[in-house]
Chain A
Amino acid sequence: MDIKLFYKKDGRVIQLIDKEKMNDWPVELPFLFVEYIREKKLETYEEGTVKREVENYLDEVLKEIAIPRLIKLLESEDDEEIILSLTRIEEIAKKNIDMAKPIQKYLKDLESKKNIKIVELATKISAIFIKAERKKELANKRKIMQEKEKEFLAGKISAEEYAKIRKEYLLLKE
């Protein structure tokens, strides 16, 4: 079987590639596939039951294919293949950090490897995650600060309280 079928109650059908075919893919690609379907497609399936079935299937892909293959690669001595894979993951992370998210928890181990190039790449990818996290935090703080600014102008909060939030925001921004 090349394709896995998911039936909706209204008779519509969603067809997804069979997980067995992913055994021949570059090691990072099953993660990308899972993230892609979760981020871009799942919502469009509308119906709750089929969404859950697809979610379960994506979990199977992660548990049975993506993670075991990645662990196998990381535990191997094949530094060349690890470097190749990390180079591609770095490119993906730069383009869309969410797509690289499932790989984040394996970066710590990689940073303690002996190969300098591997450590360098893992550190770079970690830095992209930290930067993205900071950006997210900053956006949140900015939102809160704008709210507080309105409250301050309306006389609902004190100058001290506003100054405290403003300081926190500026520190984070720096």
Chain B
Amino acid sequence: MPNQENKKMHNLKAARTLFENYLNKGQKSHSFKQTEETVKIDDLNRKEALNRIYLLVDNLIEQIYQTGRPAIQLPSRASSNIIWDEENDLLLLGKQIMEKQFHTLTSVADITRLMRVLEVVAELLSEDLHATKREVFYTDVNLFGDQKNSDKSIEDIATMLYTSRNSTHVVAAPRGSCVGRLRIRDRTDIIDLEAQGSGGWTISPFLDQIEILESDAEFILVIEKNAAMMRLAEDRFWRKYPCILITAQGVGNVATRMFLKRLNKELNLPTFTLVDSDPYGHYIHSVYLRGSKRLSYESPFLATPNIKLLGVLTRDLDKYKIPKVARIRMNKQDEKRTKDLLNEDFVKKNKEWEKDLALALKLKEKAEIQAFATHGFKFLTDEYLPEKLTTGDWI
């Protein structure tokens, strides 16, 4: 049962100061500087993407006429070519180039799938349509065999056109949702994200049709779990503390990460993650922060490099007196994941993060966001989050 003290308002001083700093710095704080070691990927409109396809096909035809042995060159997406760019604090694609040849028996299936997906992408762009990855798979089930193959070809196409996957009009199925103090435009509809019920607005994968219209939010909170999002939504957290809430139910999909990046960049809002206190939670935060290895070629469009890890930190377990019964013993895989994270350059560079992961390894304990319910259902929204946003207790 929350006591009288629990009902007090926190002033969110630290989060507000951060917001003021971002507003003063403006867009400069988000500018991405291309380095020589990484490939440049462009966000293209429909016409530009189609032009790149025409140029690519012209080049192939030229090769057929001249040598009879055409090949496609594209940046390698192997792990050896994924670079942590310290200056931009992003995982980016290096300049190693691989070649896919049309005339070898080993590559014939791969190249046929690739050309089929290129044809689908050209069709989507010409007709200004979007398709999900699943739909692309169903355009030729016999050829692709498994969706993994069509998915790989989709990523290859984006890489060889030096563009983001969204620019090819191939989108992931919607998974994320958003609620809070924000008004947007979806084509000709004005959508109020405060009036979408407790489920919130499903983040559209057609982000080229979405535009931010109005907001009086002061921060964004990205929540790992739908259950925690529901808790905050039910409490109408954004009314008491002006914010925008987002969840992707786990690792953020492309649409969620891209939408988050736009909110963060256009509105200059401080952005925080609320994840479970376990290595997977820390990994989810890292994907929002600097991108994933698999989609490293489009990190500049997906990552939010100034996102802060608000919680649940390992040090919070004692600080907020999470009882032992609500903590879970780490298993072997958790320990391995924690060690892997500790070996990442971007963690080593962030001493506070490194310290918190080391503490987790030492205690061998983890806990879910819901563990705060041991102090009452409203402890998360009335105490934990506002206190941390007021004191600036984040990484």
Contact = CB atoms under 8 A, between A and B. Distances in A.
Interface residues of B, number: 19
B23 A13 contact: yes
B134 interface: no
B267 A15 contact: yes
A124 B183 CA distance: 30
A26 B16 contact: no
Given A3-B267, A11-B16, A13-B23, A33 B192 contact: no
A145 to B, nearest CB: 35
Contacts of A45: 216
A88 interface: yes
Among B19, B185, B242, the most chain A Cβ lie within 10 Å of the Cβ of B185
Contacts of B20: 11
A41 interface: yes
Contacts of B267: 3, 15
A12 B212 contact: no
Nearest to A99: B190
Interface string A3-23: 101000001111111000100
Contacts of A40: 192
B190 A33 contact: yes
A65 interface: no
Nearest to A17: B213
A29 B183 CA distance: 14
Nearest to B269: A15
B266 A33 contact: no
B216 A15 contact: yes
Contact of A15 (B16, B192, B214): B214
Interface string B264-285: 0011000000000000000000
Interface in B200-259: 211-216, 218, 242
A74 B147 CA distance: 50
A88 B211 contact: no
B142 interface: no
Nearest to B185: A29
B188 A16 contact: no
A61 to B, nearest CB: 12
A26 B186 CA distance: 12
> What range describes how many residues of A lie at the interface?
20 to 34
Contacts of A33: 185, 190, 213
A16 B215 CA distance: 7
A90 B157 CA distance: 42
A143 to B, nearest CB: 29
A40 B101 CA distance: 59
Contacts of A83: none
Contact of B183 (A3, A11, A12, A41): A41
Given A11-B16, A29-B188, A32-B190, A5 B23 contact: yes
A13 B216 contact: yes
A65 to B, nearest CB: 14
Among A3, A32, A45, the most chain B Cβ lie within 10 Å of the Cβ of A3
A99 B192 CA distance: 15
A88 B190 contact: no
A16 B185 CA distance: 12
A56 to B, nearest CB: 16
A23 to B, nearest CB: 13
A25 B186 CA distance: 11
Nearest to B267: A15
A2 interface: yes
Contacts of B266: 2-3
A11 B218 CA distance: 10
A12 B216 contact: yes
Nearest to B214: A16
B267 to A, nearest CB: 6
A118 to B, nearest CB: 19
Interface string B23-59: 1000000000000000000000000000000000000
Contacts of B23: 5, 13
B47 to A, nearest CB: 14
Contacts of B212: 2-3, 15, 17
A37 interface: yes
Interface of A: 2-3, 5, 11-17, 21, 25-26, 28-29, 32-33, 36-37, 40-41, 44-45, 88
22 contacts: A2-B212, A3-B212, A3-B267, A11-B20, A12-B216, A12-B218, A13-B23, A13-B216, A14-B215, A15-B212, A15-B214, A15-B267, A16-B214, A17-B212, A17-B214, A25-B185, A29-B185, A33-B190, A36-B183, A36-B190, A41-B183, A41-B214
